[in-house]
Each structure stands twice: as C-alpha cells, then as structure tokens.
Amino acid sequence: MKTTRETPAASAASATNPLGVRRVHHVELVVGNAKQAAYFYRKAFGFSQVAYRGLETGSRTEASYVLEQGAVRLVLTTPLGPDTWHNEHLRLHGDGVRDVALEVADVDHAFAEAVARGAEAVSAPRDLEGKEGAVRHAAIRAHNDTIHSFVAPQGYEGAFLPGWEAARIEARPVGLAAIDHVVSNMAVGDMDRQADFYARVFGFTRYITFDDKDISTEYSALQSVVMSDHARVVKMPINEPAPGKRKSQIEEYLDWYHGSGVQHVALLTGDAIEAVRRLRDNGVEFLTIPDSYYDTLLDRVGPIDEPLDVLRDLRLLVDRDDEGYLLQIFTKPVQDRPTLFYEIIQRKGCRGFGKGNFKALFESIELEQARRGNL
C-alpha cells in the first residue's frame, strides 16, 4: 500500500483533477475490417501504422492496428470470430468509437476515485503484460457502449501497449498534430446528466454552452455543452437534439448508431490550408459549404491572414472569438452509416468551437440528410 503525503500543490491538483488525467492517450474504434480501415487512414488521412496485434502475434480473438500522426493515436480493432463482444458493438453501432482512452498518473487511483464518485466500472485495474513489460489498465463507462480506459504507460518502451507488436508502415503525413476535442451525441434529456458525470467524476467544468438559439436552422436544432479539465487538454463537447421541425442531425445519428456515441473527433493542425489540400488530394470527402458563405465571411470575422480565395477553394470555415480565430472543416461520415466523422481544426488564439459556423454547417448537413432520406 502506497502512502504519500500530499503537498499543497498536489492537493490543489487533486481538487481540480481528482483522477490525475493527463491527456487523451488514444481513441479505439471497433470496425468491420481493420486491415482495410488501416489502409484508409494511412492513405487518406496520412497516419503511419506503428503497431499490430492479430493471429501472427498470438491474438486469437481480435486483430488491431495502431495508427499515429503527431500526438494522435487511433486504434482500429476487429473481431476474428463470432463470439466476442466486438460483434455486438458492430451489429448495433457499425464502425464507431468504443474507447476514448485517457492517460492518467496512476490507474489504480483513477479507477478507485472514479468509482467512488459514481462511475460504472467496466474493467478493474490489471497489468497488460507483454514482452517489453507491463502497463496498468482499467476502464469505466462513459455512456452507452462508449468507455474511458485509463492507462499509465509511463516508462513503457514497447511500440504501443503490451500485446501489440511494432509493425511500422510510414505514410505521408498531412500535418495532424493532436486530438483537439471528442464530441458525443446524447438522447434528448441526457446532455445535462452526461455533463454532470464529467463534473462529478472527473472534476471537469463547463467551458461553453450553446443552446438552440445559437444552433438552429429551419429544420434542426441542438444544444451543446463543452466539458473540460482545468488545463483545457481534454475537451469533451456533449450534444443533444432540441425540438425542431424535422429530424435533426443528432437524431439521425442516434437512429443509426442506436443510441449515444461519439459523433466526431476533432484533429488539430498547425496549417489547415496545407492539411486540407493534402486530405482532398488523398480523396477525403468534406461537407460542401455554399459559395455564399464566403461572400460575407470577412464582414463576420474581420481581418485574417489567409487569402479568401484559398479558403473558398478548400471550403474551409472561419470563426472568431475574443481571443482570436479558428479555421475548421468537417468530413462526411467515414463509414456507410451517417454516424462518425472528423473535424480538422487550426486555432489561431480562438478557444471556441465554431459557433458562428453552425448554421452554414447544419444547412449543409441537412442537404446530405435529405439525400439519405433522413430529413
């Protein structure tokens, strides 16, 4: 049993960061064909493959690929037979995010503290063991079938985590540097409960709230709250549909994902123009924004460094807050169900999430929904 005497600094940290969360360690997706998905993320998004587990490494139940670009790590996992939990995840949700895994200072502490604060345990602390050593792991439920693993890989020298072996395939990176935020869609009435969960269990605070006055179109409306740790390293926006005339994009997601789940992962870049140029060249499909958006853009956001015609060509969106501006763009869903998509975001001082773009964006999404027969 460890005994530590808390310093004043440590006790302040435990008040604001009770679980000792450091950052998002990786995001794991369950997919129907991990080998082909890995190829897509390498060729389209410019992720390098760094590690693998599967039959060749002694994993008899699942195959799993680890992809990396900057500090972003995606893990793509697929079942190798009919009798694992992944199959039910796939049957219900299709390809989607299972785990937003968090690096913590101490897994046993994070897990015990989370459970004491009311989190549901998914997997008790244990050592993941492999040739290159052990890493402590535990998991709690976030909502529905989405979990948060806790890992403490400090000092581990292996390719990813124990169980995976180095299997390097270099790609041409597009300049993705880090995970900026991970957004969940919740059913009507569940947004506040989920925000309370992050406040109570993680000590996160409400960063920004949007309501349907901010985010509504002729058809759809949503409410959103952003929960974040005090260091603003882990940012978790949570959406729920608000009453609209027709089916909102959040309801469409909930219908096809069969409940709450991760709607999008926002990937931070230092050069959105270059990143989006390369992603488009690689065949990544983005939402189409009407030309008229650019006619009034500079009136809305004021002076910006980037040439307007380049932004218009790439269909990059711009929004500003008191502290600066951001560039952002959203992919179309990356699987057949209208569920998970990605955002590419560059922050030039702005700490917001693109509120000024929601209307243009949602009108674009509604065009797509109508084409899918879901509006």
Contact set with Fe ion (CB under 5 A):
266, 343
- Of 165, 210, 182, give the one whose Cα is nearest residue 53: 165
Least CB distance from residue 183 to Fe ion, whole Å?
5
Nearer to Fe ion, 78 or 194 (CB): 194
219-244 burial, b at 16+ Cβ within 10 Å, e below that, comes to: bbbbbbbbbbbeeeebbbbbbbbbeb
Nearer to Fe ion, 95 or 343 (CB): 343
Least CB distance from residue 228 to Fe ion, whole Å?
13
Nearer to Fe ion, 252 or 343 (CB): 343
Kindly give, in sequence order, each residue whose CB lies less than 8 Å from that of residue 175, ignoring residues fewer than 6 positions away: 46, 70, 269, 270, 271, 274, 275, 278
Least CB distance from residue 264 to Fe ion, whole Å?
6
Nearer to Fe ion, 135 or 268 (CB): 268
Least CB distance from residue 358 to Fe ion, whole Å?
10
Least CB distance from residue 225 to Fe ion, whole Å?
13
Kindly give, in sequence order, each residue whose CB lies less than 8 Å from that of residue 123, ignoring residues fewer than 6 positions away: 137, 138, 139, 149
Kindly give, in sequence order, each residue whose CB lies less than 8 Å from that of residue 94, ignoring residues fewer than 6 positions away: 32, 256, 257, 335, 336, 337, 339
Ramachandran angles phi, psi of 283, nearest 5°: 95, 10
Nearer to Fe ion, 263 or 335 (CB): 263
Distance CA 148, CA 151 (A): 10
Least CB distance from residue 133 to Fe ion, whole Å?
36
Nearer to Fe ion, 111 or 353 (CB): 353
Distance CA 240, CA 185 (A): 6
Distance CA 4, CA 375 (A): 57
Least CB distance from residue 75 to Fe ion, whole Å?
21
Nearer to Fe ion, 62 or 343 (CB): 343
Kindly give, in sequence order, each residue whose CB lies less than 8 Å from that of residue 205, ignoring residues fewer than 6 positions away: 199, 227, 228, 230
